Chains A and B, each alone.
Chain A
């Protein structure tokens, strides 16, 4: 059903709310089942029975309602208090500092000799088959005591440690698998994305670096997949940046991925010039890319030219595409507003900068030959002419003033919705007087 009066909905057609008695009956039955499940989850959680049964119930409930953030929290608590073999206690980064897994396991087993640390919480490792419900973790049991009477403690300790990590790996992988279908169905649900990141953080805290790294690497594949399904999903873009930053970080023994990510934006842009999210990411990567390449002045200028060329190609066929113009603005801002900011061409002299502005203005004017009524062209001409004046610390000269008046007139005609803006602009650049003179 499409009604969503109590929450938020997007893009669902307005339909009649009338239901037949039969439909109403079915809906009431659905509600009864849902609330029964919800009651079970909440009462077990209230009694702190964070065992496998509760865990399994959260799977059921979250499949029905992935927005239920409290249930995601209950699931986290279930994992921490049992299914994940070693307590990290670092699960709540705000209230506790992450404790290394070594220390954490020792806490749990102070009675045992120092090198043998995890006897008190031996993991289950006979449960790696996937259950009916589709996840491994649901079938895991914390089989306390099964290993207690092992004859060789030292040997057992090593084995246990390895087994513990194996179980953590399985549980975490299973959690990642659990969230995939939910994400595909609700790609804009904040809670799923943040739960998934929490699981990934657990991997860093609990697993050996190469193992955790492999898991995070696979996440990049998910980000790519999600961005193939929806090229602008800002959750997925943010997720991608986070995954990349983590893969690059020391905690995963990483190194820079700036070249690969830059290539990824090229790929996304080639598929679709209007993908501003990709252009945005590109603008964030370029200053780093140049630094890490150790680019000299020539290489920097070459990249600026390459980027300007790329946008121009797009503008030649689609001059009404806002995404292209925003990126063009970013490139040009590198020439004006560069002090104290990462910039493409820090070495440029004022003369260089002016030359580039004049060239771009000329190129944009050329666009007018083919496209006489595209508002964004006039907007850019006004913008860049004023930037040029700002750069040279002067007022517009007579020719420029004449052009500005003409372009603003055109903007008022083509874009009356923003006439307040054109009026303010006219006032700010002192064209009002000039216009009066002209009309006299």
Chain B
């Protein structure tokens, strides 16, 4: 199927070098007010940008030494990371820090120059609610399945998943399941594609995919594709490039990525890129940002767009990274790849 994309008209070719330049430019925009308003996302942004560069095959486009310096400058003595120096430690930025260090193979630096893996693990593990199994984002207690997934993601990369009560967390995810096969933020909450990816990926990390109603979930997820080819996050909502990741990644993990129209989705993502200045936006014609650039490219990678590095749907990092850190990465089950054989 990879050959079919080469027949796309020129405006639907991936603007690789523009995207690389765009990501490289992000940290030079200090004369823009928005650069300062978004400092609370700096470490996440670095993860999004770096993932995009790795998938584009330009991992060296951000200098490794400076990246490590910046990540470690965000760490607190308790092991947690803030979004930027001077920002409080939070689960979301801590997970980004771990993912960045994994991608650039720098866990050693965490031992020698940071607090060490063990403290990072403890910071994350302490955020588990031992009664319900779910996780908070920080000491102030907001709970959400996003944080649970983040904890599983980072702890498994660090080899420290045993620090938390995995079974309790799994029970909590099951309690978040809805009749449509999807999952919400917390028990009782409506199914939402972002939350579904976090729950499906956490169950996959825990080795408990057997608890997922894959047929019903696959159906619901496939119905997220709308006429434009893009995917929405919930019924009767607008399509958005970032759901190319949340929906398609979930479909991939349950072996049903072939339940949507790949070519149409590829075209939708490519129509949303800014071919001149680089970057991808939520929809064609909108302002680009690094979040949609990352998840648009990750979607294209899952869609096997030619030239992109394969992405791991559980971790949203290059498969080569996950392979190196864990000794294995996510594989399609024989069942899912047999689909085209009829």
Q: Which A residues fall within an 8 A CB radius of B?
A: 1-15, 17, 24, 27-28, 30-31, 34-35, 38, 42, 46, 64-65, 67-70, 73, 76, 91-95, 190, 194, 197-198, 232, 234, 237-238, 241, 274, 276-277, 280-281, 283-284, 321-323, 326, 329-330, 333, 416-421, 423-424, 426-427, 432
Establish whether residues A421 and B26, one from each chain, have CB atoms under 8 Å apart when the complex forms: no
When C-beta atoms are compared, the residue in chain B nearest to A331 turns out to be B179
- A residues less than 8 Å from B2 (CB atoms): none
Contacts of B78-118 to chain A: CB distance below 8 A: 82-83, 86-88, 90
Q: When chains A and B are docked, how far (Å) is the Cα of A432 from the Cα of B341?
A: 12
Q: List 25 A-B contacts (CB under 8 A).
A: A1-B34, A5-B25, A5-B26, A5-B34, A7-B38, A9-B282, A12-B286, A27-B32, A31-B36, A70-B40, A73-B138, A92-B140, A93-B141, A95-B126, A95-B139, A194-B142, A234-B190, A234-B234, A241-B189, A280-B190, A326-B235, A420-B258, A424-B259, A426-B342, A432-B342
When C-beta atoms are compared, the residue in chain B nearest to A67 turns out to be B40
Establish whether residues A15 and B189, one from each chain, have CB atoms under 8 Å apart when the complex forms: no
Q: When chains A and B are docked, how far (Å) is the Cα of A143 from the Cα of B192?
A: 49
Q: Report B340 CB to chain A, min CB distance, Å.
A: 8
When C-beta atoms are compared, the residue in chain B nearest to A74 turns out to be B88
Establish whether residues A31 and B31, one from each chain, have CB atoms under 8 Å apart when the complex forms: yes
Listed from nearest, the 3 A-B pairs whose CB atoms lie closest are A7-B38, A420-B258, A417-B261
Q: When chains A and B are docked, how far (Å) is the Cα of A421 from the Cα of B140?
A: 44
Which one of B86, B240, B279, B339 lies within 8 Å of A424 (CB-CB)? B339
Establish whether residues A418 and B259, one from each chain, have CB atoms under 8 Å apart when the complex forms: yes
Establish whether residues A321 and B236, one from each chain, have CB atoms under 8 Å apart when the complex forms: yes
Which one of B190, B256, B288 lies within 8 Å of A5 (CB-CB)? B288
Q: When chains A and B are docked, how far (Å) is the Cα of A190 from the Cα of B140?
A: 13
Q: Is the interface of A mostly helix, strand, loop or mixed?
A: helix
Establish whether residues A423 and B342, one from each chain, have CB atoms under 8 Å apart when the complex forms: yes
Known: A70-B86, A234-B190, A241-B188. A4 touches B287 (CB 8 A): yes
Establish whether residues B38 and A6, one from each chain, have CB atoms under 8 Å apart when the complex forms: yes
Establish whether residues A6 and B45, one from each chain, have CB atoms under 8 Å apart when the complex forms: yes
Number of interface residues of B (CB under 8 A): 79
Interface presence of B41 (CB below 8 A):
yes
When C-beta atoms are compared, the residue in chain A nearest to B179 turns out to be A330
Contacts of B309-340 to chain A: CB distance below 8 A: 339-340
Establish whether residues A94 and B287, one from each chain, have CB atoms under 8 Å apart when the complex forms: no
- A residues less than 8 Å from B142 (CB atoms): 190, 194, 197
- B residues less than 8 Å from A198 (CB atoms): 140-141
Interface presence of B159 (CB below 8 A):
no
Q: Report A199 CB to chain B, min CB distance, Å.
A: 11
Q: When chains A and B are docked, how far (Å) is the Cα of A276 from the Cα of B182?
A: 14
Query: Which segment of B51-59, B198-206, B215-223 sits at the interface?
Result: B215-223
Establish whether residues B40 and A14, one from each chain, have CB atoms under 8 Å apart when the complex forms: no
